[in-house]
Amino acid sequence: MGNNRINSPALRAKVCDAQQAAELIEDGMGLGCGGFTPSGAPKAVSRALAQRAADAHAKGDPFAVRLFTGASTSPDLDGELARNDAISLRVPYNGDASLRDKINAGKTAYVDTHLSKVAPWARSGFFGDIDVAIVEATSIREDGGIVPTLSIGNNQAWLDLAKTVIVEVNAYHNPAIEGMHDIVTSGIAPNGQFDMPIRKVADRIGEPVLRVNPDKVRAVVLTDEPDLNAKFRDIDEGAKMIAGHLMEFFLHETRVGRLPSPLPPLQSGVGNVANAVMAAFGDGPFDNLVAYTEVIQDGMLAMLRSGKMLSVSGAAFAVSADEAVRVNADMEFLRERIVLRPQDVSNNPEVIRRLGCIAMNTMIEADIYGNVNSTRVMGSRVQNGIGGSGDFARAAHLSIFMAPSVAKGGSISAIVPMVSHVDHINQDVQVMVTEQGLADLRGLSARQRARAVIQNCAHPAYRPMLLGYLERAESSRYGGDTPHLLNEALGWHHRFLETGTMQPG
């Protein structure tokens, strides 16, 4: 299985089983892994590592690693290790429920980091030692170049920094993927920076493989399994309405000349609402679309196939199980239209800004003045993490945040007097959309933004309460540019925690 994928004799000699590879990893080590969504996450070695931790704990020995990845990974990595109490520190993002519980309980340290900053900060020593790298490969070339699978993450940084390298060669992926990746492997400054002369989403600046000193490779493990991709819910009516408001806005902006046609490169977040927006673009009036984005989902691939979208630059695929099969079958077609990049390039503010991207991300809640919480429920419990949303929202030409106006059957309003946590400051939120409507916040003062958000985005059940708060804050003695009543500002959240609803009793 897969041995014919290893064309470097030096590395073919390192083939071993996953248990032997996992033995290279000791308690306390810093582990730099692939994985940006389940794409590219190690599989066999991570399962063996979890078993190693379980065995150590059964003997009363400590065993936990500091885990660094691209972004979220899979149940085989974050899930297995978390359930076995084998992660002491997690950087830079998590989407796994088991690990989330450990983090929110204060049992695992979590450093929620802008995804574009991980490699430069790791290279600068800001995170401590990276002892072992584990990367997934589709194949290894004769010259030792490693062809990645469906994401790259920070793997070049891990390969450069780690003393020990483990490669999983996964025979599941179509080897025709070779050529889709674009990786800068040399000329990287000690602070992790390098030139990025990307002026179109399809521009290439590196080579199609990861580079590693073969002497550092201590184990090559063969696998043959698809990524454990998460399911997305079907698109609901609310998400369709959000997408509809957004399409209307884009049409209007192109008509009045504030956006060009074809549209600038799109970035789209992940999830139900993002899926609905991509579906609306698929059925919509815009042609010759391009995307400079992070995660490539089914909707963008459908547009590449239909010809609506011409090219996509991204960090990772995150597709349905059916779509994963189609990706493998269509690899030659997709390779001509997709550039997969390391996340310090896919998310780099330089490129996002130069291309003038439109960033579309989802939020947990927003406040009347336009500040957005996209990570922490009731200010305290982390959901996933900021991921790449901060890279895109600030650098984009136009940053849009979206959510249903209420959650949990109406007991939570997504529009609140003051957000309980801020990930995106109002300066990074030009447009806000809920199923109720769209608020164009450009050029508005804080008090004007508040009225636009309340009238256009808030659910009618919460509108009078929000307007009441605003008016009382405006007429309060202290006043201000962003008037608040500090003894009430977080009262809605507190009420929810006490009574189960933000609505007064």
* Contact status: 451 vs a copy of itself (CB under 8 A): no
| Distance (Å, whole) CA 10 – CA 444 | 62
- With contact defined as beta carbons under 8 Å apart, do 304 and 334 qualify? yes
Q: Which stretch binds a copy of itself (CB under 8 A): 76-84, 120-128, 133-141, 240-248?
A: 120-128
Place of tokens 């590592």: 49
95 has binding-site annotation: no
Q: Which residue, 17 or 195, is less far from a copy of itself as judged by CB?
A: 195
Place of tokens 């929202």: 393
* Backbone dihedral region for residue 257 (phi beyond 0: left; psi -120 to 50: alpha; all else: beta): left
Q: Can you read off the two tokens belonging to residue 412? A: 């939570």
Q: Which residue, 19 or 104, is less far from a copy of itself as judged by CB?
A: 104
Q: Which residue, 285 or 480, is less far from a copy of itself as judged by CB?
A: 480
Q: Which of residues 5-44 bind a copy of itself (CB under 8 A)?
A: none
The residue within the footprint of a copy of itself, chosen from 4, 306, 380, 499 (CB under 8 A), is 380
* Contact status: 445 vs a copy of itself (CB under 8 A): yes
Per-residue contact flags (x/-) with a copy of itself for residues 466 to 505, judged by CB under 8 A: -------xx---xxxxxxx-xx-xxx-xx--x--------
| Distance (Å, whole) CA 440 – CA 306 | 31
In the chain, what's the furthest Cα-to-Cα distance? 77
163 has binding-site annotation: no
244 has binding-site annotation: no
| Distance (Å, whole) CA 505 – CA 189 | 59
| Distance (Å, whole) CA 215 – CA 204 | 29
Q: Which of residues 185-204 bind a copy of itself (CB under 8 A)?
A: 189-191, 193, 195
Return the amino acid letter for 301: L
| Distance (Å, whole) CA 375 – CA 186 | 35
Per-residue contact flags (x/-) with a copy of itself for residues 323 to 362, judged by CB under 8 A: -------------------------xxx--xxxx------
Q: Which of 80, 253, 294, 435 is catalytic?
A: 294
> How far apart, in Å, are the Cα atoms of 254 and each of 247, 251, 260, 262, 310?
11, 5, 6, 9, 19
* Contact status: 128 vs a copy of itself (CB under 8 A): yes
270 has binding-site annotation: yes
Relative to beta strand 109-110, strand 87-91 is: parallel
The residue within the footprint of a copy of itself, chosen from 110, 158, 250, 317 (CB under 8 A), is 110
Place of tokens 């450990």: 102
Q: Which stretch binds a copy of itself (CB under 8 A): 71-79, 209-217, 392-400, 455-463?
A: 392-400
Q: Which residue, 208 or 483, is less far from a copy of itself as judged by CB?
A: 483
Q: Which of residues 41-80 bind a copy of itself (CB under 8 A)?
A: none
Answer yes or no: 294 catalytic: yes
Residue (of 363, 292, 346, 396) closest to 116 by Cα position: 346
- With contact defined as beta carbons under 8 Å apart, do 401 and 432 qualify? yes
Q: Which residue, 24 or 198, is less far from a copy of itself as judged by CB?
A: 198
Q: Which residue, 109 or 325, is less far from a copy of itself as judged by CB?
A: 109
- With contact defined as beta carbons under 8 Å apart, do 136 and 149 qualify? yes
Q: Which residue, 48 or 132, is less far from a copy of itself as judged by CB?
A: 132
| Distance (Å, whole) CA 344 – CA 160 | 15
* Contact status: 408 vs a copy of itself (CB under 8 A): no
The residue within the footprint of a copy of itself, chosen from 127, 317, 392, 469 (CB under 8 A), is 127
Q: Residue 430 CB, nearest distance to a copy of itself (Å)?
A: 8
Q: Residue 330 CB, nearest distance to a copy of itself (Å)?
A: 33
Q: Residue 401 CB, nearest distance to a copy of itself (Å)?
A: 15
Q: How many residues bind a copy of itself (CB under 8 A)?
A: 82
408 has binding-site annotation: yes
CB half-sphere exposure, 442, CA atoms < 13 A: 10
CB half-sphere exposure, 469, CA atoms < 13 A: 24
| Distance (Å, whole) CA 283 – CA 16 | 49
271 has binding-site annotation: yes
Q: Which of residues 208-267 bind a copy of itself (CB under 8 A)?
A: 256-258, 260, 264
454 has binding-site annotation: no
Can you list the alpha helix ranges (DSSP code H) found in 149-201? 155-161
Residues that constitute the known binding site for CoA: 269-273, 364, 384, 388, 408
Known catalytic residues are 294
